Structure 1
Amino acid sequence: MRKDIFKKTYNLPECTADLPQLSLFTLLGFLEDIAIAHAEAMGIGFQNSIATQTFWVLTRQKLTMNHWPQVGLIEIQTWSRPLISISATRDFEIFYNNEKIGDCSTRWMVLDVANRRPARPIFDPEKVFTRGDYVLPYDAEKVPIHSDAEVIKKLKVQPSDLDLNQHVNNTKYGQWLTNLVSERKEYAGFLRGYEVNFISETHLGDDVVLEAKELSTAPFSTAFQGRRLSDQQLLFAAQLTSSI
């Protein structure tokens, strides 16, 4: 059994008329869950964070999908690439009925609890196994910022948006955007790609302005970004790509 690849199986939630297939929000939750489970298994999870007074944050993510299943089980496989400086890369592959239906690459960083600044990861090298024989053919890159994006919605951060680090959980940004897509039919289609950069922390009570700009129509590609209303601080930049 390979120690560098971690696997976990997930039941797909029951489909409804409003949610006829696996959603982006649910899949992002699965990816977060298996990343946490693998980190715990390698001794760099929650307990290590308490001991070192640090915590992991997701800074970049790129997901590609060619199928969104409706029922059954999916298997997710994940691994860490060799650590470079203070940035860590984790890859995922998603399988349904033994066929690969998607993959995802993520970039992570450790922050100091006290000052929220980057810190060097502290771990036991004998417990952390990285994969060197294969990586995904892409990385989670920088998402462009668009100064001419149109304001399309405002929202206030709720307690249910937060995680244990008291900032908006990464999955919630995906939920905000998919909710926006469902409200505005011009963004609808078969979701094939999701990219996001998390730029600043978003906290309880923040008023967030969501902006969008259409980039192309073949395939359909739309840029989204969010700003804090009080100081116009850019919080995240994302891009959704879909097809009919």
Structure 2
Amino acid sequence: MAVERSALIVVDMQEDFCPPNGSLAVPGGRDIAPIINSLLTLPFTAKVASQDWHPLDHASFDVQHPPPNNKAFTSWVTATNPDDESKSMQLQLWPVHCVRDTTGAKIIPEIDATKLDLIVQKGQDKRTEMFSAFGDMFSRGGSSVVSHDLAAWLKNKKIQQVFVVGLTGDCCVKATAIDAKKEGFETFVVGDATRSVDDGNDGWGAAKREFQEHGVIVIESRDQRLQDLKS
């Protein structure tokens, strides 16, 4: 079986998304590090990590908005597309997290970052949210929202397949995988190398339904397509 030129994308394995001290800690977030490190030993053509890298005054932070409608997880505000003021979307509020150059934004030490070829720092425009490593909530890329144009970088390396892991399956992993598919890559999410905020039907279950709609395939780390890389 021919092995396509492939990339591993490790999404947001950062201190603020992991117990015990992360401000947006995902249960079991650190537990997937050994599986991810095992995948990092495989001979992917490219190995990439994404890293939330917000300014302190990011619009999604609850403290940036006046009460009473500034409650993390439950309050929403309107965000306007900086490139087209006629377009807007609702933006959910979160606790302050992954502020650039802080401990919370660091990739957890359990991840062997020495194996990475590229770290994409995302969410740098305070006006918009950015779940995907490819673009923000308005599908904007470029230097104002992300440190590298990931799609262009992968295409320059002639990548054909993308495998996505990390945090979280029902948010940033989901958005990154769906955008990878939209960019023309055959896309897989490694289910046992992800964790979700909500492991139930409304979270991870809904994400898997979206994956199916977009043609993203969910596999496990023992899948033959990954084992073939070893040869």
Same fold (TM over 0.5): no
**TM-score bracket for this pair, using the shorter chain length:** under 0.3
The two structures have a TM-score, normalised by structure 2, of 0.26
- Structure with greater strand percent: 1
Whichever structure has more helix as a proportion of its residues is 2
- TM-score, L = length of structure 1: 0.25
Highest RCO, 1 vs 2 (Cα 8 Å, sep ≥ 6)? 2
Name which one, 1 or 2, has greater alpha-carbon Rg: 1
